[in-house]
Amino acid sequence: MKPLIVQKYGGATLADPEKIRSVAARVANQSKENSLIVVVSAMGKTTNSLIDLANQVSSHPQRREMDMLLTVGERISMSLMSMALNDLGCPAISFTGSQAGIFTDDSHVNAFIKDVKPFRVEESLKTDKVVILAGFQGVSPATKEITTLGRGGSDTSAVAMAASFNADRCEILKDVPAVFTADPNIVKSARPLQELNYDQLMEMTFWGAKVLHYRSVELAKLRNVTLYIGPASNKTSDGTLVKKGLNMFESCKALSLNSHEMVLGILSKEKNPAKALKELQTLFDQKQIAFPQLLHCEMNADKLEMLLTGPQEIVQAIKKELQNHPQFSLLPTDFSTVTVTCTGATSPEITQQVLNVLADRQLHSHKLMMSAMSVTVLVEAPIRKQVIESLHQLI
């Protein structure tokens, strides 16, 4: 019996018909030695284009209708990939998330996978077909509605399938050769990381690393799914291997730099944090805004301050709604976070080094936030790149 591999191809690797045919040729070649489930994202910037289209016809697009719209992108990719594979003589069949048995809660735009019952996928694999799966989507068994898993949710689709079938590994294939010590578009000297453990990658993705969706890494850890992150174009690339136990006994040192580009500071007149969060959730529900990622909550005698981040469309929608709101107000500054993730656990020395570098370069930070494996500074958005470039010397 051939080993089973789940592969996920990002939008940049599927951006045009030529790239789809190139990926299809790669998949067809690998199918000779492996059983394959291939999870696909939408082509190129299709998701962004669909969001723009929605905003051109509606000031508050309903989240249910956004899910109906956004799932089109992955359906286009899956069907084209299946066509290309069949033309190469490689039997293939495409499935939507609901057809593949990916069941979610009833949230729209940011649903959680609750169960996977991939009966049709299993039947197709038994007949030696390559299964092409539309990532990023599922169905709520309670409401029978199509749902989406949030930006980057195709990663979670792939890991969920790999976990369900106990696959040999889950390959997240991109247009970059590996996970790097920092964004190579900002830091030219950034270096590839050959191996990480789940906790390190979870910390990196929570604090802004775009290599994988945070939930997908969390699921991979829970179900012990071996991850490989590498380029779609080169089978022999070293890439980055992520699995249990790697790097666990190294001494504490700075490992990588990650960043959330857009962070909003929100002040609440309600001093009780539970009530404030509930009121904010109610407001976002009324305005059809998906709740963003909560990074920090600070309670003082005279104020309650929250730091939130999310995709650009969510951040812009929140800014619009809170401009003149009686209960909530926005801090006037656009912020970013820059995070140093460490091996082992953080030490006072690394925190001191971070503060020394910022002081030497006269780069002001508004907050210092600590977690078990990270030191995070909150800085004004215009100096984000300077902070990243400066702190990379610690890696």
86-110 pLDDT tens trace: 999 999 999 999 999 999 999 999 9
Helix/strand/coil for 357: helix
Q: pLDDT at position 341, please?
A: 95
Q: pLDDT at position 158, please?
A: 97
Under the banding of pLDDT at 50, 70 and 90, the label for residue 22 is: very high
Residues 238, 254, single domain; the answer is: no
CA distance 368 to 170: 35
Residues 237, 342, single domain; the answer is: no
Residues 277, 169, single domain; the answer is: no
Q: What is the dihedral of CA 272, 276, 277, 279, to 10 degrees?
A: 140
Q: pLDDT at position 235, please?
A: 60
Residues 311, 367, single domain; the answer is: yes
Residues 105, 191, single domain; the answer is: yes
Under the banding of pLDDT at 50, 70 and 90, the label for residue 232 is: confident
Q: pLDDT at position 175, please?
A: 83
Residues with Cβ < 8 Å from 283, sequence gap 6 or more?
A: 321, 325, 327, 328
CATH number for position 293: 3.30.2130.10
Domain boundary among 183, 210, 242: 242
Structural domain count, the chain? 2
Residues 273, 136, single domain; the answer is: no
DSSP state of 123: H
Residues 233, 273, single domain; the answer is: no
- Give the least confident one: 247-256, 263-272, 363-372, 382-391: 247-256
Q: pLDDT at position 301, please?
A: 76
Percent of the chain at pLDDT exceeding 90: 83
165-213 pLDDT tens trace: 999 999 999 888 899 999 999 999 999 999 999 999 999 999 999 899 9
Q: How confident is the model over 37-59, as a mean pLDDT? A: 94
- Is the CB of residue 187 less than 8 Å from the CB of residue 256? no
Residues 49, 167, single domain; the answer is: yes
- Is the CB of residue 316 less than 8 Å from the CB of residue 292? no
Residues 81, 107, single domain; the answer is: yes
Mean pLDDT of the chain: 93
Long-range contacts of 57-60 (CB under 8 A, 24+ apart): 60/287, 60/288
Domain boundary among 242, 258, 293: 242
Helix/strand/coil for 180: strand
Domain coverage including residue 66: 4-242
Q: pLDDT at position 237, please?
A: 66
Q: How confident is the model over 134-142, as a mean pLDDT? A: 96
CA distance 67 to 47: 11
CA distance 353 to 56: 47
Q: pLDDT at position 381, please?
A: 96
Domain boundary among 218, 242, 266: 242
Could you tell me which of 79, 148, 81, 87 has the C-alpha nearest to residue 112?
A: 148
Asked if pLDDT for residue 236 goes beyond 70, the answer is: no
Residues 151, 279, single domain; the answer is: no
Residues 190, 226, single domain; the answer is: yes
Look up the pTM and report it.
0.92
Amino acid at 307: L
Residues 110, 187, single domain; the answer is: yes
Q: pLDDT at position 271, please?
A: 83
Asked if pLDDT for residue 234 goes beyond 90, the answer is: no
Asked if pLDDT for residue 52 goes beyond 70, the answer is: yes
